[in-house]
């Protein structure tokens, strides 16, 4: 009777959390009766509860020697082994337990968890099924079953299990979190955010969930919304490269470049090989024209690329690299890492349509250069031969251009709420013959759609000036200037070369309004106006040095640039002063909404100077349309050769020199010889609409390329290089 009362008191103290007092009483019983089962069993649990696993194991072993058939002691012993990471032994203990009680759902569930930890997922799934068969309303088993499917690469199946768990227990935080993870894997980021948010209502301080929600919001390109979560993540773990990188990426997109540089460089200090951090640091430096330490970063980019590391997005690399082999390598690494080939949805079927179905995919169906360039192409397609579909991932920004784009195609699909796989299935169901990626590796791309191979022919065109380096993109469309024969090996795609320039132009675009006076535009009345309206990330130090030498040689000249962020303006003025040029000779054009106004003032420039290694594309077209000669830089990569393609197509091949020295000499010559410059402007006016700005001609060339691709596919022939 005395012993029973002592055990009862000890157990009460144990339940109240007064562990030291309970332990004393259990040991008092065991000193009197060393084989007292209840004292051994409860003391073992107490030791386990207080983290003294080895001691717990010894005591529970003694309890099982006293009573080998005890369900409670066997269960505690198995769970303890599980907690200690002794998984094989834990599974054996669960097996013994299930011999004693074959329908014990908790044992089946825990056995499954141990098997999952050993990556024996099929066996784990069978254990979870047994748990659910014994106890259908067991939320933990449903959640764990989902986890096993998630680890098996079956996120869609996993979600059904998480939903079942939540129907049984809406407050099961693990199921909410795990459902969010599965939704992210399915590119259903909006639903993932909702799932993480629901979890955070139950556990507001779970930093792992806060970080996961921040990443999901970033996946939705809602970086401003993501930033508070990412900032909390960094505050909680300031020495983790992951959290710093995620915030650096958000800062970069939000144009808070100085902060992005700080975070990216901190991440690199923690892990010098952290994927893509160096790319953010370099690109952010370019965006504010902060060239201090840039050369060292670029050298490291090259070395790490050569070593096969993911160090920069392909687009970021294009802004600094002069080596087309690096562009290919970066694209291969990026595509292989983020967008590996998935099981193909198209499996060789022949559709036999009366019209060739071409789908153009983009997130840029808004007031964006790609949309401006493609509007006339959409309208110009031969409707007897081609059925055109625009597939849009962007919100419905109402604008005259958006309306024009929607009217210019047979079908306009808004699929922004669908996952990559859902969009790919839609394209396959529509029996698309040719899927055209107008984005490549630019921001908000959906390369994952193409990874599912929804169409027989998949094409990289216009939006991204380089190879995508993946096996499921069949063709890249270029021309003989942007992709000369000597560069063939730097492209994973087969090359379809158009005559003239690959770059489309809209001959219905706005005509320049009457120009303002130079004084009204902030320019000197008589001085020579060099101009480059490229973005800040294209204003590399090598080219800026050339431009400043020209400024020193041409008295009274100014250099006219587009409106840039305050940091970039500050740094460029500082660089000009270092080069011996008064900062006041850099003129920054304020932003104007109307294209007609911009083109009107642009006509005031004397000479547009292209940049390297990433040159002018749409901005070069603007200058040529406004009647301003463009001096193309001699690029060694696709993005550095677009201006040369444009001026060659415009009949001004002499404006595409072969070296940087020739570029500088020709710029100086034209600045000093106004008659030569006027002759160029007259020549440009004569050729402009007939060759470069001939939308119908470009459209026919593009259609001829599509027909060749389609005929080869219909005949079961592999893609090949060809010229139209």
- Classify burial at 367, counting beta carbons within 10 Å of its beta carbon; exposed 0-12, middle 13-18, buried 19 or more: middle
Same domain? 200 vs 312: no
Say if residues 360 and 388 touch (Cβ distance below 8 Å): yes
Residue 503 located in a structural domain: no
State how far the Cα of 561 lies from the Cα of 575, in Å rounded to an integer: 14
- Classify burial at 673, counting beta carbons within 10 Å of its beta carbon; exposed 0-12, middle 13-18, buried 19 or more: exposed
Same domain? 21 vs 59: yes
- Tell me, what CATH number does 390's domain have? 3.40.50.11380
Say if residues 6 and 25 touch (Cβ distance below 8 Å): yes
**What percentage of the chain's residues is helix, strand, coil (to nearest 5)?**
55, 10, 35
Same domain? 277 vs 364: no
Same domain? 689 vs 562: yes
Hey, which residues does 356 pair with through a beta bridge?
386
State how far the Cα of 90 lies from the Cα of 82, in Å rounded to an integer: 5
Asked whether the whole model's pTM tops 0.75, one would answer yes
Interval 237-281: pLDDT, tens: 999 999 999 999 999 999 999 999 999 999 999 999 999 999 999
Average pLDDT across the chain, whole number: 95
How large is the average pLDDT for residues 10-15? 93
What pLDDT, on a 0 to 100 scale, did the predictor assign at position 47? 95
Residue among 202, 203, 232 at smallest CA distance from 217: 232
Same domain? 597 vs 568: yes
Confidence tier at 1 by pLDDT (50, 70, 90)? low
Instruction: Kindly list the distances between the CA atom of residue 476 and the CA atoms of 10, 479, 490, 506, in Å, as whole numbers in the listed order.
Output: 77, 10, 12, 21
Same domain? 301 vs 370: no
How large is the average pLDDT for residues 670-675? 96
Q: Would you list the DSSP string of 454-519?
A: -SSEEEE-SSSSS----TT--EEEEETTTS-GGGGGG-SSEEEEESS-SS---TTSPPPPPPPPTT
Same domain? 492 vs 575: no
Q: What is the DSSP letter of 591?
A: P
Same domain? 17 vs 158: yes
What pLDDT, on a 0 to 100 scale, did the predictor assign at position 394? 83
> Which SS3 state, helix, strand or coil, does residue 72 take?
helix
What pLDDT, on a 0 to 100 scale, did the predictor assign at position 509? 82
What pLDDT, on a 0 to 100 scale, did the predictor assign at position 147? 96
Say if residues 663 and 634 touch (Cβ distance below 8 Å): yes
Asked if residue 689 has pLDDT above 70, the reply is no
How large is the average pLDDT for residues 355-366? 97
Please, what sign has the CA dihedral across residues 697, 698, 703, 705?
A: positive
Q: Would you list the DSSP string of 22-60?
A: HHHHHHHHHHH-TT-HHHHHHHHHHHHHTT-HHHHHHHH
First to last CA, the chain: 101
Interval 512-523: pLDDT, tens: 788 999 999 999
State how far the Cα of 306 lies from the Cα of 328, in Å rounded to an integer: 11
What pLDDT, on a 0 to 100 scale, did the predictor assign at position 687? 63
Same domain? 491 vs 550: no
Confidence tier at 550 by pLDDT (50, 70, 90)? very high
Residue 717 located in a structural domain: no
Q: What is the DSSP letter of 379?
A: H
Count of domains observed in the chain: 4
Residue 524 located in a structural domain: no
For residue 451, the enclosing domain spans 356-498
- Tell me, what CATH number does 313's domain have? 1.25.40.10
Q: What is the DSSP letter of 655?
A: G
State how far the Cα of 311 lies from the Cα of 264, in Å rounded to an integer: 12
Same domain? 300 vs 384: no
Residue 709 located in a structural domain: no
Residue 508 located in a structural domain: no
Interval 396-431: pLDDT, tens: 778 999 999 999 999 999 998 888 999 999 999 999
State how far the Cα of 13 lies from the Cα of 244, in Å rounded to an integer: 46
- Tell me, what CATH number does 600's domain have? 3.40.50.2000
Domain stop point among 206, 230, 246: 206
Instruction: Kindly list the distances between the CA atom of residue 459 and the CA atoms of 49, 178, 325, in Å, as whole numbers in the listed order.
Output: 61, 36, 21
Interval 130-146: pLDDT, tens: 999 999 999 999 999 99
Asked if residue 78 has pLDDT above 70, the reply is yes
Hey, which residues does 411 pair with through a beta bridge?
389
β-pairing, 475-479 vs 494-498, is parallel
Same domain? 299 vs 378: no
State how far the Cα of 362 lies from the Cα of 391, in Å rounded to an integer: 6
Same domain? 616 vs 648: yes
Residue 319 located in a structural domain: yes
Domain stop point among 447, 479, 498: 498
Residue 712 located in a structural domain: no
What pLDDT, on a 0 to 100 scale, did the predictor assign at position 475? 98
Residue 516 located in a structural domain: no
How large is the average pLDDT for residues 307-336? 97
Asked if residue 220 has pLDDT above 90, the reply is no
Domain stop point among 338, 366, 401: 338
């Amino acid at each position: 009777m005395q012993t029973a009362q002592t055990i009862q008191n000890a157990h009460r103290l144990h339940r109240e959390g007064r562990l030291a007092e309970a332990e004393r009483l259990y040991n008092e019983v065991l000193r009197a009766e060393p084989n007292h089962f209840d004292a051994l069993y409860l003391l073992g649990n107490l030791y386990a509860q207080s983290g003294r696993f080895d001691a717990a194991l010894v005591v529970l072993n003694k309890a099982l020697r006293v009573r080998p058939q005890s369900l409670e002691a066997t269960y505690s012993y198995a769970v303890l082994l599980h907690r200690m990471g002794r998984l094989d032994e834990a599974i054996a203990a669960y097996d013994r337990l299930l011999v004693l009680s074959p329908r014990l759902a908790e044992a089946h569930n825990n056995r499954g968890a141990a098997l999952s930890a050993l990556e024996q997922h099929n066996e784990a799934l069978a254990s979870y099924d047994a748990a659910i068969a014994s106890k259908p309303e067991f939320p933990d088993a449903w959640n764990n079953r989902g986890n096993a499917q998630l680890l098996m690469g079956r996120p869609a199946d996993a979600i059904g299990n998480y939903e079942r768990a939540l129907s049984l227990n809406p407050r099961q935080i693990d199921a909410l979190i795990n459902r969010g993870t599965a939704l992210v894997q399915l590119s259903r980021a909006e639903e993932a955010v909702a799932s993480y948010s629901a979890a955070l209502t139950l556990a507001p301080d779970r930093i792992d969930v806060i970080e996961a929600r921040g990443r999901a919001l970033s996946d939705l390109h809602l970086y401003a919304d993501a930033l508070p979560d990412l900032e909390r993540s960094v505050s909680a773990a300031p020495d983790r490269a992951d959290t710093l990188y995620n915030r650096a990426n958000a800062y970069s997109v939000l144009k808070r470049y100085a902060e992005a540089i700080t975070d990216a460089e901190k991440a690199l200090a923690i892990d010098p090989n952290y994927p893509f951090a160096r790319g953010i640091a370099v690109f952010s430096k370019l965006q504010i024209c902060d060239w201090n330490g840039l050369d060292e970063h670029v050298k490291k980019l090259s070395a790490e690329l050569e070593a096969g590391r993911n160090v920069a997005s392909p687009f970021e690399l294009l802004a600094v690299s002069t080596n087309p082999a690096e562009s290919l390598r970066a694209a291969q690494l990026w595509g292989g890492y983020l967008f590996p080939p998935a099981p193909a949805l198209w499996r060789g079927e022949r559709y036999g349509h009366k019209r060739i179905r071409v789908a153009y995919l983009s997130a840029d169906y808004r007031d964006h250069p790609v949309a401006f360039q493609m509007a006339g192409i959409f309208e110009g397609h031969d409707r007897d031969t081609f059925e055109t579909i625009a597939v849009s991932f962007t919100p419905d920004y109402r604008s005259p251009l958006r309306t024009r784009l929607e009217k210019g195609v047979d079908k306009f699909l808004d699929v922004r709420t669908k996952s990559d796989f859902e969009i790919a299935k839609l394209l396959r169901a529509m029996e698309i013959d040719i899927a055209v990626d107008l984005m490549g590796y630019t921001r908000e791309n959906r390369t994952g759609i193409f990874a599912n191979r929804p169409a027989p022919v998949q094409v990289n065109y216009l939006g991204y000036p380089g190879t995508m380096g993946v096996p499921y993109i069949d063709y890249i469309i270029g021309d003989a200037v942007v992709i000369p024969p000597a560069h063939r090996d730097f492209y994973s795609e087969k090359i379809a070369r158009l005559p003239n320039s690959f770059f489309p132009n809209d001959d219905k675009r706005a005509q320049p309004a009457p120009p303002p006076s130079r004084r009204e535009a902030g320019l000197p009345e008589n001085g020579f106006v060099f101009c480059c309206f490229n973005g800040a990330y294209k204003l590399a130090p090598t080219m800026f040095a050339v431009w400043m030498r020209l400024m020193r040689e041409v008295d009274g000249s100014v250099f006219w640039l587009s409106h840039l962020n305050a940091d970039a303006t500050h740094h460029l003025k500082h660089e000009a002063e270092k080069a011996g040029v008064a900062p006041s000779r850099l003129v920054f054009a304020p932003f104007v909404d109307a294209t007609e106004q911009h083109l009107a003032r642009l006509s005031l420039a004397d000479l547009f100077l292209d940049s390297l290694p990433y040159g002018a594309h749409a901005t070069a077209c603007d200058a040529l349309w406004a009647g301003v000669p463009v001096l193309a830089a001699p690029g060694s990569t696709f993005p550095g050769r677009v201006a040369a393609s444009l001026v060659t197509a415009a009949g001004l091949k002499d404006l595409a020199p072969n070296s940087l020295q020739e570029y500088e000499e020709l710029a100086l010559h034209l600045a000093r010889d106004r008659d030569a410059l006027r002759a160029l402007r007259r020549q440009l006016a004569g050729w402009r609409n007939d060759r470069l700005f001939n939308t119908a001609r470009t459209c026919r060339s593009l259609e001829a390329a599509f027909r060749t691709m389609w005929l080869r596919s219909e005949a079961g022939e592999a893609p090949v290089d060809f010229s139209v």
